[in-house]
Amino acid sequence: MTERLDLSRILIYSHDSFGLGHLRRCRSIAHSLVAQYKGLSVLILSGSPIIGSFDFKARVDFVRIPGIIKLRDGEYTSLGLHIDLEQTLQMRESIIYHTAATFKPDIFLVDKEPTGLQGEVTSTLEMLKRRGAINVLGLRDVMDDSVQLKAEWERKQVAPVLEDLYHDIWVYGLEEMGSPIEGLGLSAAIKKKISYTGYLGREIPNDRNWVSPVNFDDPFILVTAGGGGDGVEMVDWVIRAYEGDREQPYRAIIVTGPFMPPTEQQDFHERCEALSNVEILTFDSHIELLMEKATAIVAMGGYNTFCEILTLDKPALIVPRSVPRQEQLIRAERAVKLNLVSMLDPAGERDPMQMAAAIRALPGQAKPSSANVSGLLAGHENIAEIVREYFEPSANESITA
């Protein structure tokens, strides 16, 4: 049953220009909230170059800010403009600030980066707090190894921003999976701002206008590398497994992701042409529909893919990356302990026969639901309830006091 929050506004900031995870998480939250509350409008600020490839519900829109990507050496550079980084950052900060000033959100939800890319949202947080808006930081269940994250947040001077400019911190996961800020030495006042929402269940899009890129006549295992920028090793390992074990009982459909380097993509496509039971695609904006049709899933274990695995209740093999962040590895190890998934660590030799055996066993693996974890997928419902409380006069009085 929906409620009305007429003329209420939420602004969501998603910093990333590389990959799909941040954008897809923000879009999922926006769609859930406008479905729950009639009259609510949500605007997403994003640096993603492919945000226009996605469908958005009524009362959800986006503003594209100039893209920036992180290079292998850790430095940033402009994605599409032939101007220097400093100018691009100035443009981004100005667009973010003036969009927020004009849109006048009741809630400003910042995804993952407390101060934004290179500190670009701090001025907006300050302005919106002065205006009485509610600033919220949304964090994944796992951020990174605590030693690395502590050094990063100290360098970015995150703690004072969390203390002074944020009202709340939402963790999109369960306390049983651990705290994303454990070991960072943050104050008790900051820790009191944390709410664990549960994971964000995925809404499966309507397939009425979807043209399937593959046939579903025979069962298949879906292999997804997410955005693909860091999925080369996993895809190579799976293809070598099928090259070494030509009698695999299930065919594989591999989705490399739009950000996988073109040279590697071409090599993978050529190798898959020689395999009768492997098909390969670059991208599908409705990958949830492929997941729904799959018998099982092989994935790297990014946050959004993990949520889709839980939502669709699919047996899953996680092959997490551990560089430059250990987020996926930590999430996979904790999920294995809760009997939600199985895992292969790519840090070893990546034996193709080990992967082949894991793929053979995957369709018989227990589904995540068999673990009976309470509140596992309650994220959207809990976020909607928190938002409703924000808009109650008594709640607002206590928040802004």
Task: Kindly report, residue by residue over 299-308, the tens digit of the pLDDT.
Answer: 999 998 999 9
Check whether residue 62 and residue 175 sit in a common domain: yes
Structure confidence at residue 19 (pLDDT): 58
- Looking at mean pLDDT, say which of 59-73, 165-179, 315-329 comes out highest: 165-179
Q: How many helices (H) and strands (E) does the chain have?
A: 14, 17
Q: Are residues 331 and 361 in the same domain?
A: yes
231 and 260, same domain (yes or no): yes
Asked whether residue 46 falls in the same domain as residue 121, the answer is: yes
Predicted confidence (pLDDT) at residue 17 exceeds the cutoff of 80:
no
Look at residues 321, 324, 361, 316 and name the one whose alpha carbon lies nearest to residue 345: 321
Q: Are both 346 and 271 inside the same structural domain?
A: yes
* Residue 215 lies inside a defined structural domain of this protein: no
Is 343 a domain residue? yes
pLDDT at position 248 is: 96
Give 335-376 pLDDT, tens digit per residue.
999 999 999 988 888 999 999 999 999 999 999 999 999 999
Domain with 268, as residue range(s), is 220-371
CA gap 181, 68 in Å, rounded:
26
Instruction: Give a yes or no: residue 180 inside a domain.
Output: yes
**pLDDT for position 74:** 59
Q: How confident is the model at residue 396 (pLDDT cuts 50, 70, 90)?
A: very low
81 against 358, higher pLDDT = 358
- 197 with 272, same domain: the answer is no
Residue 294 lies in a domain: yes
Tokens at 212, concatenated: 């399937």
pLDDT of residue 23: 85
Regarding whether 121 and 8 lie in a shared domain, the answer is yes
Classify residue 208: in a domain, yes or no. Answer: no
Q: Does the residue 19 lie in any domain?
A: yes
Examine the domain organization and report whether 28 and 168 are in the same domain. Answer: yes
**Mean pLDDT along residues 57-61:** 95
pLDDT score at 18: 58
Instruction: Answer whether residue 20 is part of any domain.
Output: yes
Average pLDDT of the segment spanning 167-196? 96
More confident residue, 376 or 15: 376
Question: Any bridge partners for residue 63, and if so which?
Answer: 45
Amino acid at 333: E
Span of 112-116, 140-144, 285-289 with lowest mean pLDDT: 285-289
The token pair at 169 is: 């911190």
> 121 and 7 in one domain?
yes
| Same domain? 187 vs 254 | no
* Tokens read off for 203: 């809404």
Q: To the nearest whole percent, how much of the chain has pLDDT over 70?
A: 94
163 with 282, same domain: the answer is no
Same domain? For 381 and 367 the reply is no
Query: pLDDT tens-digit profile of 202-217?
Result: 888 777 777 878 877 7
pLDDT digits (tens, 9 = 90+) for 271-304: 999 999 999 999 887 888 999 999 999 999 999 8
Instruction: Give the total number of structural domains in the chain.
Output: 2
**229: pLDDT strictly greater than 90:** no
Strand partners for 68 = 78
- Has residue 135 got a pLDDT over 60? yes
Whose CA is closest to 317, among 347, 358, 354, 352? Answer: 358
pLDDT value at residue 347: 83
Q: Is 213 part of any domain?
A: no
Q: Using alpha carbons only, how large is the chain's radius of gyration in Å?
A: 21
Query: CATH number of the domain that 293 lies in?
Result: 3.40.50.2000
Higher-confidence residue of 88 and 164: namely 164
Which of 17-21, 68-72, 209-213, 385-389 has the weakest average pLDDT?
Answer: 17-21
CA dist list (Å): 316 to 73, 86, 169, 313, 361: 32, 42, 29, 9, 10
